[in-house]
Amino acid sequence: MSPLRYTIMALLVAGVSLPGLNALGTEPTPSQTPAPWKIVNYWSTTCAPCRIEIPELNLLFAELAASNVQVLGVNFDEDDRQTTLRLARRLGIEFPTLTLSEVEALGLSPPTALPTTYILSPTNEMLTKLVGIQTKASVYTILTKLAIPH
């Protein structure tokens, strides 16, 4: 991971939104790339399968860094921000974890089972819902099937 990318990621994980490069990519400056596609993963500390797929999603996050596809996390348990960030660190999550208001802005309904991963269009339209443990390969397959450039 490049130092710049690492710094940006660290800031995002810490809950710092950057102008034009916040976790949702909803504030692009005019000169920037279009709004991103999103892979949104719901996790919980009580969910053992969630913990199994996190390393795969970390790999995906690193490999998609240069693309216009973001990997984002949501704490299903809705702990306060400080607790959520602490848990994300302990779980080894390297991709940004959204705030409650950012989740709300996406218009997603909470999943009925964990783990669940949503794939959203740049306009936050839900393209597919993946229930159960995902791997890097399984997500790439879906991205290809949906013709999402990556």
Partner 1 sequence: MRPNVIKNLLQFLLIGTLLMSLKTQAQNIQVSMLTPPVTDQTSLSRVITDAKGNVHLSWVASKDDNSALYYATLTDANWSPAHLIQQGNDWFVNWADFPFLAVTDTGMVAHWLQKSAEGTYDYDINAVFFDQEKHIWGQPVIIHKDGVSAEHGFVSMLPLGEGRSFMTWLDGRNTKPAMSHPDADKDEHAMAGGMTLRAAVFDRHGETLEEWELDGLTCDCCNTSSAMTARGPVVVYRDRTEQEIRDIYITRFDDSRWTEPLAVSNDHWEVAGCPVNGPAVAAQGHLTAVVWFTAKDDQPKVQLAISNNDGAAFGTPILVDQGATNGRVSMAILDSGDIAISWLHTNGKDAALKVALYSQAGKLLADTEVAGTQSSRRSGFPVITSQGNDIYVTWTDISAGSQVKMARVRFHLPAV
- String of b and e for 12-30 (b: at least 16 CB within 10 Å)? bbebebeeeebbbbeeeee
Q: Select the span of 4-12, 14-22, 57-65, 103-111 touching partner 1 (CB under 8 A).
A: 103-111
Q: Burial, 122: exposed, middle or buried (Cβ in 10 Å; 0-12, 13-18, 19+)?
A: middle
Residues in contact with 134: Cβ distance below 8 Å, sequence separation at least 6, in sequence order: 41, 53, 56, 57, 115, 117
Q: Binding of partner 1 at residue 142 (CB under 8 A)?
A: no
Q: Select the span of 6-14, 54-62, 110-118, 137-145 touching partner 1 (CB under 8 A).
A: 110-118
Q: Binding of partner 1 at residue 45 (CB under 8 A)?
A: yes
Name which position in 15, 20, 49, 55 contacts partner 1 (CB under 8 A). Answer: 49
Q: Can you give the binding site for partner 1, defined by CB under 8 A? A: 44-49, 51, 76-78, 90-91, 104, 110-116, 131-133
